[in-house]
Amino acid sequence: MKNSNRVIVSRRDRPAKEPLSRELIVQTAYELLKEQGMKGMSMRKIAKELDTGPSSLYVYVNNLEDLNSYVQDFGLGCLILPDAENGSWKERLFGALTAYFLLLVEQPGLAEISFSTIPKGDKYMELIEYILAALLEGGAGSKSAAWGTDLMLLYVTSLAYEKHSWKKHDAAKLSDIKQAFSNADSVRFPFIHSLSEELFSGDTVVMERFRWGLEVLLQGIKLDPINNRQT
């Protein structure tokens, strides 16, 4: 209609543009996610990157939420779990969780996306299986192992996301909050006042605090508070 006799010439610099595919879309999306976080991974920006319109993507992907799942899977592809033959069960457990945590910290977009997306990819199931196995080998009961796996993964994801979320805010506001804590009314909030250092020390020694949390969780799980609860 409006431009019937238009020249059908490729609108892109590169001569033969790679045809669209879900793989290509996911890769491009992940690239944007790494660079600019979830905010930069919009349908329109992905489409622009692929030199097409946003509607073209919907051939290969149902909606953004779907794409999020695929991208999460794709990102988890970089996760390398420790060899299941070597080391004690605890070393393997901590090794896997640390690898997962480091990946989320290095790619904060992945941490971001992992919170709003229910993981259902193969790689994530491998991770669950790996941790379940380690906990069971460590002597945990069925329920403790299952709930403990959930708990540990929740911990890792939350901590990584929290770390990212705090980093997003400008340093100015952050030090404002620190000040609010150390300047806390020592009458109403005596403990916050005196422990403000410790409350924020986790910010600088991330890995130490992470490791501490793992240790806490593991010790608690091993005690199995369901079976031998001490009121």
Partner DNA sequence: AGTTCTTTACGAACAGTGTTCGTTATGATA
Partner DNA sequence: TATCATAACGAACACTGTTCGTAAAGAACT
Q: Which does 19 bind (CB under 5 to 8 A by kind): a second copy, DNA, none?
A: DNA
Whether the CB-CB separation of 129 and 150 falls below 8 Å is answered with no
Residue type, 61: V
For residue 16, the minimal CB distance to DNA (Å) is 10
Whether the CB-CB separation of 37 and 109 falls below 8 Å is answered with yes
Our CB check for a second copy shows the closer of 2 and 188 to be: 188
Site residues (CB under 7 A) for DNA, limited to 18-57: 19-20, 41-45, 52-56
For residue 59, the minimal CB distance to DNA (Å) is 5
> Residue 132 burial (CB < 10 Å; 0-12/13-18/19+)?
middle
Q: Say whether residue 64 binds a second copy (CB under 8 A).
A: no
Q: Contact residues for a second copy (CB under 8 A)?
A: 115-116, 118, 120, 125-126, 128-129, 132-133, 136, 142-143, 145-151, 154-155, 157-159, 161-162, 165-166, 169, 173, 177, 180, 184, 188-192, 195, 198-199, 201-202, 209, 212-213, 215-221, 223, 225-226, 229
